[in-house]
A and B are shown apart, each in its own frame.
Chain A
């Protein structure tokens, strides 16, 4: 590191560190966060079991994904934070490169081209970007004077814009929102002036019309229109929303009971095991189940913000906050769309929805949080 002079390692024998903290430091894990994540994932498996029509195979497969994802998390947590920072530009460049490659050699399904095929193994570069983006932006801005100067804001926006456009083009609106959020969140925490934020919001509002006209695909437009009036197309695009609202609403406060949800078990609810899984939870466990899950998510977010606040450097701070907030965006967008507040954009419910890749990136993100949380103390002179 170039400025070692300004830092001094805290003596290992510092009496203020409690035993548990020492253990956490040594294994580079945050026990609070780990406990919360495990609670959500294990609880999620029960919901998935019901949502998948009691398919043991599905639950087993998801269990394997969890193990892989937790191993990835533990692995990432061991990586020194400064190493991440050094790696950041390369990770970003490689991720963008792969996204470009997707355009030419990607494979896909249902009209979307999102994957790269590597000898029978399918890989989704946009998932890599979910991590590469906040790391890169945090690394870039972390070295600057904060709040960032206009020049740095400009470049940051360019760094965010390029991969987001590539992902929108795939098209994958949900992921692009998350990637954009993870980059912009860094900018926000770096202290970008409110003036810029208001200006940007204004510009965004003004760009709605050209966005509608030239960028959005028909199916995306339909989703927005359907959100505004799901009754207009009951059996078509409105079906998902009507059925998920019916599932949630019919659950009531106590819910219909585990495995008793009629909407999900009789196949009325589409995508019940993936994006719409919270409708299954809401139907079977009611408002109580929803409150418990939201509470757990809030605790995760709170813990993430706490880690960010305690981080020793701008890089770690920005990165931790961005990952935490992106996680919240995940939660909010998913639950918002399933309950009919937001358009359906294809964002899974983090830690609960079925799916491997997104789970690995998600938990790897928490690995980064843990790495930051357990970074060896450095003292600023």
Chain B
């Protein structure tokens, strides 16, 4: 080894080294040149792209949902408000392991399988990236504290106060206000780009009732914030913003006191009450019983609760005053009578003999009166209405004919949607020749006319339609569209006159007097309700068959199961001289129409006593 050193050629080594050093110097220059080209490409050539990307990284548009418009009754009582509720949401994009996070959250707060299922449903829906998806609503303070303490290990989990719809009278107004609920996938799919924009930041939408009908006014305009966020999505500063515009408030014609009284009078029995302001068509009360708590639906009803409601035999979700189509029975007799007068088929003085049935020509079939032995030998129009004589109206109808009866009754809103400002209304059925040919493919028989004349057969009407009919009678022909909302955002909604029924004044007099006789007459079918009243009323009772009674058989309530018994109806208005309020009541399977009349009396009392005091 040491020998080798003696022969080391230092000169040659140095020369090799210099050559190699020059080579490396060139290599260094080349490699550094590569770096420079790279940086030039990034910082000069593609500079703008990266600026865009950097901005997209840090700047996010946060929608600010507007406050939903409030709903008041006519006296300024709040019916639908927005309550701050603490909601636990997850920003999926910021969560590394969703399962893990859900487990951790499950240890901290109470999360049901139902919550998770609904959360997963929403995750699958189309949504903006980085939009928080709600998992649990209505956190209590203890839960909020638990979450705050564990925030460090819950990336992507947010707790924020959210305004959630609250119905102060959950059950009382469920069928009129309706409710809001989470925007469903189907609804979302139907949104166009504009609508989608409007609902950014908003999680609920009106599902039924007023909430649905007035959705666009209640919603308001979305605001936004341009915010700078860090990589973990925390908002660091607001770059600029536009405030949201709150939705418009609604003031209703409805009166909570009357509504409450009507609800209480129904007392959990199946039925409906509609009360209409005669002068405007404004709906003072509209009750469908049994009802349900609309608040259950706001943040998503649990499957258990929903099943309970949906499978109940009493159909609490069914809106009886709007969608319940009942045979109106004798309640339409004033209109039929008026048709007879108008078309000169009868005069108030004409009388008939009522043996307790009516026979059509030589037909074997007997059309029975509800009173087996009949109402006597000289039944005139006043008595026929006051005592609800069927035979009189069989004869009237037969002489009048279906065509005139149909067109006359239509003017009172029978067989057509009333146009009330809530969706999903049913139109009932006010039969005509054309209808029967179209629907059944059959010709019209004279017997059909007889059934229609006493509100049976194919005739169907909703309680709302009956209330409109009654209000039209009470106002002597002024047929208004029923209207729940009195003003929108302070702007009054003018009443809409659908049509003016043109009938000679003396005919109104006759019919309205007869309806007065129903309540105040000696033999009036609703005379039980005039006791102790310091005002006078008018009305008409009715019963509607649930099952047909075969020829020659007797109606025997004992033999019929409870749900097959007749429905009890009453329509009426008060006060008699200066009509203010018209009411329609139906009590399912209640048999006695006077019980329906009693409910009307309670409604009148509340309304008139307060008005007078």
Contacts and interface: CB of A to CB of B under 8 A. Distances in A.
Given A248-B39, A249-B46, A252-B43, A305 B57 contact: no
Nearest to A278: B39
Interface string B1-14: 11011111110111
Interface in B40-83: 40, 42-44, 46-47, 49-51, 53-54, 57-58
A351 to B, nearest CB: 17
User: Do most interface residues of chain B lie in helix, strand or loop, or is the interface mixed?
Assistant: helix
Contacts of B228: 262, 266
B21 A309 contact: yes
Interface in A244-260: 245-253
A321 interface: yes
Contacts of A191: 13, 16-17, 20
Given A191-B13, A287-B43, A268 B35 contact: no
A268 B58 contact: yes
A249 B49 contact: yes
Interface string A208-238: 0000000000000000000000000000000
A301 B17 contact: no
A264 to B, nearest CB: 10
A187 B44 CA distance: 40
Interface in A281-326: 282, 286-287, 290-291, 294, 298, 301-302, 305, 308-309, 314, 317-318, 321, 325
Nearest to A380: B10
A340 B10 CA distance: 43
Interface in A1-57: 2-3
A325 B24 contact: yes
B533 interface: no
A314 B34 CA distance: 32
Given A249-B49, A301-B28, A266 B17 contact: no
Contacts of B7: 145
Nearest to B20: A189
Contacts of A245: 42, 50
Nearest to A287: B43
A332 interface: yes
Nearest to B46: A249
B38 A252 contact: no
A144 interface: yes
Contacts, number: 140
A328 B28 contact: yes
A294 B31 CA distance: 11
Contact of B54 (A188, A246, A318): A246
B43 A248 contact: yes
A253 B43 CA distance: 6
A321 B21 contact: yes
Given A249-B49, A262-B58, A268-B230, A282 B39 contact: yes
B53 A309 contact: no
A3 B5 contact: yes
Contact of B57 (A143, A268, A332): A268
B522 interface: no
Interface in A152-194: 188-191
Given A189-B21, A248-B39, A267-B232, A146 B51 contact: no
Interface in B161-200: none
B16 A146 contact: yes
A279 to B, nearest CB: 10
B37 to A, nearest CB: 10
Nearest to B1: A143
Interface in A129-158: 143-147
A189 B51 contact: no
Given A145-B8, A248-B43, A339-B38, A262 B20 contact: no
Nearest to A249: B50
B53 A252 contact: no
A290 B32 CA distance: 11
User: Do most interface residues of chain A lie in helix, strand or loop, or is the interface mixed?
Assistant: helix
A91 to B, nearest CB: 20
Interface in B204-252: 228-232, 236
Nearest to A261: B54
A305 B21 contact: yes
B36 interface: yes
B25 interface: yes
A263 B54 contact: yes
Contacts of B98: none
Contact of A146 (B13, B46, B232): B13
B38 A341 contact: yes
A332 B2 contact: no
Contacts of A188: 20, 24
B18 interface: yes
Given A253-B44, A341-B35, A247 B10 contact: no
B58 A248 contact: no
B53 A250 contact: yes
B28 A287 contact: no
Contact of B17 (A143, A246, A317): A317
B230 A339 contact: no
A279 B19 CA distance: 35
A251 B21 contact: no
A322 B78 CA distance: 84
Given A267-B232, A339-B35, A252 B4 contact: no
A246 B53 CA distance: 7
A143 B42 contact: no
Given A147-B16, A298-B28, A266 B236 contact: yes
Nearest to B18: A309
B39 A252 contact: no
A339 B34 CA distance: 11
Nearest to A3: B5
B230 A267 contact: yes
Contacts of B24: 188-189, 305, 321, 325
Contacts of A290: 39, 43
Given A266-B229, A301-B28, A249 B42 contact: yes
Contacts of B28: 298, 301, 328
Contacts of B47: 249-250, 252-253
A336 B35 contact: yes
A237 to B, nearest CB: 14
Given A245-B42, A339-B39, A268 B231 contact: yes
A337 to B, nearest CB: 11
B73 to A, nearest CB: 50
A84 interface: no
A370 interface: no
Nearest to A324: B24
A325 B53 CA distance: 36
A249 B58 contact: no
Contacts of A309: 17-18, 21
B133 to A, nearest CB: 18
Contact of A282 (B6, B18, B43, B53): B43
A144 B32 CA distance: 33
A113 to B, nearest CB: 25
A252 B2 CA distance: 59
Interface string A74-114: 00000000000000000000000000000000000000000
A249 B49 CA distance: 8
B57 A266 contact: yes
Interface of A: 2-3, 143-147, 188-191, 243, 245-253, 262-263, 266-268, 282, 286-287, 290-291, 294, 298, 301-302, 305, 308-309, 314, 317-318, 321, 325, 328, 332, 335-336, 339-341, 380
13 contacts: A145-B7, A246-B50, A251-B43, A253-B44, A266-B228, A287-B43, A287-B44, A298-B32, A305-B25, A321-B21, A332-B32, A339-B38, A339-B42
Given A266-B231, A294-B35, 18 more contacts: A145-B7, A146-B8, A188-B20, A191-B13, A191-B20, A246-B57, A248-B50, A252-B43, A262-B54, A262-B58, A263-B54, A266-B236, A268-B57, A268-B58, A287-B39, A287-B40, A301-B28, A308-B21
In the A-B complex, the 3 residue pairs with the smallest Cβ-Cβ separation, listed nearest first, are A249-B50, A250-B54, A191-B16
